[in-house]
Amino acid sequence: MARKASLKTEPLKKTSKRLPRKSPKKPAGRRGTTKAVKAAREGKAAKVKPGAVQAKADRKTAPWTKAEVEEAFRRFQEAMPEPKGELHHINPFTLLVAVVLSAQATDAGVNKATPALFALADTPQKMAALGEERVRELIKTIGLYRTKAKNVIALSEKLVAEHGGQVPGTREELQALPGVGRKTANVVLNIAFGQPTMAVDTHIFRIGNRTGLAPGKDPLAVELKLLEVIPEKYMLHAHHWLILHGRYTCLARRPLCEQCVIADLCKWPGKTVPIAPT
């Protein structure tokens, strides 16, 4: 009787390489979007990167068209036809002093100190007579008050000696006064003399770069770009619109994109709720 042939199987060879395991894909959903919208509704519309990293990213935003710039300022005008500066003053001289005092300080802080000061001295002659020590005492709640008191007395004396006690109406003459830089001069020219200047402070500098409206590495670059792109008919109030927008809506740390009247026009990639105004 023939024997049945035995079946031999060869052992499986072990492979040295393991195939990577694929993680299961999570189903796409609206959870992330909903969370972002909820955060925006609570005033947490965007997270800003630190310092130089954010500044560099801001300058990469897309440029605005002429039609978009026109529409943005049309909306600003519609929302606030007659914007006003928030520094309290009586005349061009007290405006000049208030702006000098506001450097590296808040308008609110300056407004708390100036009523008593201006009650005693609302002209260059009275301010010079008041003296540096007395001015220092009256403004001591404001940052850098010692240097500012010195500048206020010095500029008052120069106004009396060289300008007949009047505030000059040119940028060059204003910047020749102690404690007066380009931004201060632009504010005075705009508010006191009705000139269409653009005073770039920290708020306007941030908006220019963040939105892509006027990107620039320094305040002068942003100023010149804004003067180039903003239609002439809006220039008189453009400075105030942008400052107030930066102070109360386009905040440094938590921009309120959901309240922004130009959210749909803004080019900033960090915004989370580009809601068109109704």
Residue 23 has pLDDT above 60, yes or no: no
Structure tokens, 204: 């306007």
Choosing from 193, 211, 235, the residue where a domain stops is: 193
Residue 213's closest CA among 250, 252, 258?
250
The predicted structure's pLDDT at residue 247: 94
Comparison of pLDDT for 200 and 104, the residue scoring more: 200
Quickly count helices (H) and strands (E) in the chain.
13, 0
The CA distance from 188 to 178, in Å, is: 15
Q: Residue 231 maps to which CATH number?
A: 1.10.1670.10
Rounded to an integer, what is the distance from CA 237 to the centroid of its chain? 16
Residue 108 has pLDDT above 90, yes or no: yes
The predicted structure's pLDDT at residue 158: 98
The reply to whether 103 falls in a domain is yes
Q: Are residues 215 and 174 in the same domain?
A: no
Comparison of pLDDT for 63 and 26, the residue scoring more: 63
The CA distance from 8 to 4, in Å, is: 12
Per-residue model confidence as pLDDT tens digits over 220-259: 999 999 999 999 999 999 999 999 999 999 999 889 999 9
User: Has 26 been annotated as catalytic?
Assistant: no
If one counts the domains in the chain, the total is: 2
As a whole number of Å, the CA-based R_g of the chain is 30
Residue 202 has pLDDT above 50, yes or no: yes
The predicted structure's pLDDT at residue 17: 52
Residue 8 has pLDDT above 90, yes or no: no
CB 40 within 8 A of CB 257: yes
Q: Residue 138 maps to which CATH number?
A: 1.10.340.30
Q: What letter does residue 243 receive in the DSSP assignment?
A: H
Least confident of 24-33, 67-76, 248-257: 24-33
Between CA 176 and CA 186, with CA 181 as vertex, the angle to 5 degrees is 100
The reply to whether 8 falls in a domain is no
Q: Are residues 68 and 108 in the same domain?
A: no
The predicted structure's pLDDT at residue 272: 62
Question: What is the chain's percent helix, strand, coil content, to nearest 5?
Answer: 55, 0, 45
Catalytic residue (choose from 8, 35, 66, 183): 183
Q: Residue 145 belongs to what domain range? A: 92-193
Q: Are residues 185 and 118 in the same domain?
A: yes
Q: Are residues 78 and 204 in the same domain?
A: yes
pLDDT (mean) for 206-211: 95
The reply to whether 52 falls in a domain is yes
Q: Are residues 188 and 53 in the same domain?
A: no
Q: Are residues 185 and 234 in the same domain?
A: no
* Average pLDDT of every residue of the chain: 84
The structure's pTM equals: 0.75
The reply to whether 68 falls in a domain is yes
The CA distance from 69 to 230, in Å, is: 7
The CA distance from 235 to 270, in Å, is: 28
Residue 19 banded pLDDT, cuts 50, 70, 90: low
Q: E strand or H helix at 216, and its extent?
A: none
The CA distance from 224 to 186, in Å, is: 12
The reply to whether 104 falls in a domain is yes
Number of other CB atoms surrounding residue 246 within 10 Å:
21
pLDDT (mean) for 112-132: 96
pLDDT (mean) for 202-225: 95
The predicted structure's pLDDT at residue 55: 55
Choosing from 147, 171, 193, the residue where a domain stops is: 193
User: Has 44 been annotated as catalytic?
Assistant: no
Per-residue model confidence as pLDDT tens digits over 140-199: 999 999 999 999 999 999 999 999 999 999 999 999 999 999 999 999 999 999 999 999
The CA distance from 85 to 3, in Å, is: 110
Q: Are residues 56 and 105 in the same domain?
A: no
Structure tokens, 100: 């000098």
Rounded to an integer, what is the distance from CA 160 to the centroid of its chain? 35
Q: Are residues 229 and 106 in the same domain?
A: no
Catalytic residue (choose from 58, 201, 225, 271): 201
The predicted structure's pLDDT at residue 39: 45
Q: What letter does residue 278 receive in the DSSP assignment?
A: -
The reply to whether 18 falls in a domain is no
The CA distance from 262 to 72, in Å, is: 6
